[in-house]
Amino acid sequence: MKKGASLTGKMALAVLLIVIAIALAIGGYWYISQGTSSGEKRVFYVVAYHWGFVFYDENFNEIPKIEVNKGDTVTIYLFPGVAFAEEAHEEFEHRTLERGVGDLPPGSEELHEKMEEALDQGYFDHGLGIDGYGVNIETNYQAFKGSAESIEGILQTEGQDVLKAHSITFRADKAGYFTIVCTVYCGYGHSSMEIQGGFVVRG
């Protein structure tokens, strides 16, 4: 009899502990989801050139990829390389010559020719798409005066209206590693403008 009673007591205690554990788990989940859903506002600047992307954080520091937390509101400003003064533009495209594209090795004359060809043919614009995120933004090179040496320079010379016209804002509601691609045909190296894991959302 006594043994039975203590067994019932133990079971009641076990049930109580399970209920507490479930309550803590639900409470914890609610707390975390509240925390992330009110996420931060993140700003990134991206330059698309023949044939690659350069990413900058909100302080204009170059970063290797765009990294945010789930729940953050992300704004990306996209500029074409030709929006910059000639020297700055060449500096971007020089990265391609150093890296090589497809079968064309770094520094090869043919690669140089392909890059000149893309400009001669009028492929000045690029796009930025994030696979699996339904995000796409395209540049409009004609909107720029083309005299800025840097992103800060663009902000000073072009003003806020141009910024508005060249940005996309979305919510990072899915965690994972996503590929950034160019969505506007821009000549020979277009298909090499693909950065796997270029957009990272931490869950």
| Coil vs helix vs strand at 48 | strand
Q: Which is nearer to Cu ion, 135 or 182 (CB)?
A: 182
Q: Which is nearer to Cu ion, 155 or 168 (CB)?
A: 168
Q: Which is nearer to Cu ion, 151 or 181 (CB)?
A: 181
For residue 92, the minimal CB distance to Cu ion (Å) is: 14
For residue 99, the minimal CB distance to Cu ion (Å) is: 16
Q: Which is nearer to Cu ion, 71 or 81 (CB)?
A: 81
Residues 6+ apart with CB under 8 A from 58: 42, 43, 44, 45
For residue 101, the minimal CB distance to Cu ion (Å) is: 12
For residue 185, the minimal CB distance to Cu ion (Å) is: 6
Q: Which is nearer to Cu ion, 162 or 182 (CB)?
A: 182
- Binding-site ranges for Cu ion (CB under 5 A): 126, 182, 186, 190
Q: Kindly list the distances between the CA atom of residue 35 and the CA atoms of 31, 43, 64, 171, in Å, as whole numbers in the listed order.
A: 6, 19, 27, 14
- Omega within 30 of 0 (cis) for the link into 30: no
For residue 129, the minimal CB distance to Cu ion (Å) is: 10
DSSP annotation of 185 reads -
The Cα–Cα gap between 45 and 162 comes to 13
The alpha carbon dihedral of 142, 146, 149, 153 has a sign of negative
Q: Which is nearer to Cu ion, 151 or 186 (CB)?
A: 186
For residue 69, the minimal CB distance to Cu ion (Å) is: 29
The alpha carbon dihedral of 156, 161, 162, 166 has a sign of positive
The Cα–Cα gap between 98 and 33 comes to 44
| Beta partners for residue 202, in sequence order | 69
